Amino acid sequence: MFKKMKNIETAFQHVRGFTIVLIIGNFVTLCYYEYSRERFIASSQNKLYILYNGKALEAFATDRKDNVGVEARDHIKIFHQLFFTLDPDDKVIQSNLTKALYLADESAKKEYDNLTENGYYANIIAGNISQQITVDSVQVDLRYYPYPFKCYATQSIIRTTSTVTRSLVTEGELRNVSRSDNNPHGFFDPALVNNREQGYKSH
C-alpha cells in the first residue's frame, strides 16, 4: 500500500513538473510572439507603398529632421517658381499667386499688393509678356531657427521682340507651420525680405 502511494506521489510530482515546464514554455513563447509582433508593426509603420504606373513601389518613412534640409530647399524653390513665373493670362497669374501665398507669410502678400497697386500684373497682360524663373541654388542654414536662407535664381522676361535676363537674389527665414494640402512641406517662407535684382542683359 505504501508502495502504491509512493508511486502515486512520484507520478504526481512528474505531472506537476511537466505542467510547470509547459506553463513556462507557453509564457516564453507568448513573450517572443509579442516581441516579434511589436517589431513587425514598428517595421511596417516605416514602410510606404506608392502606386506608380500600376506598380506598387516600396518607400520608407523617416522623421522630418532627417529630411528638413531637402524639404526646406524644395519649399523655397516651389514658392519662387509660383510667385515669379507669370504669363499674360489673369487666371494663370491668380492661380499661381494664390498657391504661392499659402507658402509664405505677410511679406509676400505685401509685395503682391504693391505690385498690383503699381500695375505690374496689368502690364504683364497688356504687354503680352511672359516671366519665367529658374532657381539656380538655395542655401539654408539649419543651425539656427527660424532657418535663414538665401535663394539665387535667374529670371527671364520674354517679350515679342526681346528677352531680358536678370539674376534674382532673395533672403529670408523659414519657420515651421502645420502641414496641409496647400502647404505640404509645413513651412512659412518670408522670401521677399531684402530681395535684389542685378545683372540686366537683353538679347
Reported as a pLDDT band with limits 50, 70 and 90, residue 186 is confident
End-to-end CA distance of the chain: 119
Q: What is the pLDDT of residues 129-142, one digit of tens each?
A: 889 999 999 999 98
Distance CA 35, CA 39 (A): 6
Q: Assess whether pLDDT exceeds 70 at residue 87.
A: yes
Higher-pLDDT residue of 29 and 63 is 29
Which residue did the predictor score with more confidence, 77 or 202? 77
Within 8 A by CB and 6+ apart from 136, the residues are: 152, 153, 154
pLDDT reading at 196 higher than 50? no
- State how far the Cα of 102 lies from the Cα of 91, in Å rounded to an integer: 17
pLDDT value for 194: 45
In this predicted model, which residue has the larger pLDDT, 66 or 191? 66
pLDDT per residue as tens digits for the range 102-114: 888 888 888 888 8
pLDDT of res. 193: 45
C-alpha cell at 163: 528677352
Distance of CA 1 to the CA centre of its chain: 83
Separation CA 8–CA 17 (nearest Å): 14
Place 200 in a pLDDT band, splitting at 50, 70 and 90. Answer: very low
- Predicted confidence (pLDDT) at residue 198 exceeds the cutoff of 50: no
Is the CB of residue 176 less than 8 Å from the CB of residue 186?
Answer: yes
